[in-house]
Amino acid sequence: MTNIQFAKRLEPLQSNVFADMDRAKAVALAAGREVIDLSLGSSDLPAEAHVIEAIAQSLSDRSTHGYLLFNGTQGFREAAANWYEQKFGIKVDPQTEVLPLIGSQEGTAHLPLAILNPGDFALLLDPGYPSHAGGVYLASGQIYPMPILAENGFLPVFADIPAPVLAQSRMMVLSYPHNPTAAIAPLSFFQEAVAFCQQHNLVLVHDFPYVDLVFGETGDWINSFPNSKSKIQNPKSLVPSILQADPEKSVSIEFFTLSKSYNMGGFRIGYAIGNAQLIKALRQVKAAVDFNQYRGILNGAIAALTGPQAGVKSAVHTFQGRRDAFITALHRIGWNVPTPQATMYIWAKLPSHWSENSIEFCTQLVKQTGVAASPGAGFGKSGEGYVRFALVHEPPLLEIAVERMAEFLH
């Protein structure tokens, strides 16, 4: 057999938290276990009927069956720009400041190809979402992990970044509400991040999939910080956009997906919005890789962004109920986990005897109980000692999962 030589950039990509847990789940299923999968943040809720109808009507329209080039996405880009303006009060040019994506994961993975030269540093949250690191590795860049710790509210400390690293850095990636920790960040933090990136000539990337999955009773959290600059008057979003801290879009680009707010994960649709030069550069990368999605999917996305928003509120209510049921059950078995204010995740500190081996904990948990979770170490070195549960089942099944974990822990 021919000895095929592969690029060295693939070496850091050989391990992936979701692929590793998928194998562990397969072993449990083969052994006859009934698996309760809490390892993957893929919403089990359906897309709204008016979204499905818009896609269905497109299918019989022959004009939607061909390639879709950039100019053909104008309607979607206008809908995205209007959605942002209504939600955050930020003016957006749909022609130069919006780019359709195959989900925010695709966009954040491709953007480093437009920014980094080999050896350049990207500043990433640790723990953080795996595709952020994957995109840097594919661009032959280096990663400087910014540890985010509970004692700092899971926010990075910019002053801790070494000067030699900063000198070689080209971009910083943030994401709040945060996956996996479920942490939220005030506008004052984003203002600090924008000023820091302007000072050090960094591109500021904000991955923003959980903009709507913020729980209502915490709606005043963002104005509770002592810095008066953090106050937001716009009532349509409980969390800030990075563009509210950088309204001139001087260094910033933000990524949104319809996977979470609109339960359209399988349709693979999102967009980038922000600095026109960054949008142009990302568009150049994408032009070498793909055309756009099927026009019918964009029609469904337009219906989601411009149509009734009751489904978004319903999804938030559903995940809040699941959060409350899961947290209550964990507390009942003696696992005291903080109640998150956003996202569809629970970020749980492991019992002390598992605190240095989250991968073994998750492997044994699914093997012995059928409950699948994501090990914190899979999201970065600073994630060790934690486990992430995705709230993608109804409360009765979540409570059964906790009962099984109680037997495993005790």
pLDDT at residue 229, as a whole number? 39
pLDDT at residue 226, as a whole number? 33
Q: Tell me, what DSSP letter sits at residue 345?
A: E
So what CATH class is 8-46+311-409?
A: alpha beta
Cα dist. 119→89, 93, 126, 176, 281 in Å? 38, 34, 20, 27, 19
Cα dist. 150→349, 374, 387 in Å? 10, 19, 14
CA distance 145 to 124: 5
The boundaries of every CATH 3.40.640.10 domain in the chain are: 49-306
Q: Which fold has domain 49-306?
A: Aspartate Aminotransferase; domain 2 (3.40.640)
Question: What does DSSP say about strands 374-375 and 386-390: parallel, antiparallel, or unpaired?
Answer: antiparallel
In this predicted model, what pLDDT tens digit does every residue of 72-112 receive, in sequence order? 999 999 999 999 999 999 999 999 999 999 999 999 999 99
DSSP states of 224-251: -SS-GGG----TT-SS--HHHH-TT-SS
CA distance 349 to 367: 20
Q: What is the 3-state secondary structure (H, E, C) of 81-129?
A: HHHHHHHHCCCCCCCCCEEEECCHHHHHHHHHHHHCCCCCEEEEEECCC
Greatest distance between any 2 Cα atoms in the chain: 67
Residue 37: beta bridge partners? 372
Residue among 354, 384, 383, 388 at smallest CA distance from 371: 388
pLDDT at residue 410, as a whole number? 82
**Which residues, given as ranges, of the chain have pLDDT below 50?**
218-235
Element (H, E) at 176: none
The boundaries of every CATH 3.90.1150.10 domain in the chain are: 8-46+311-409
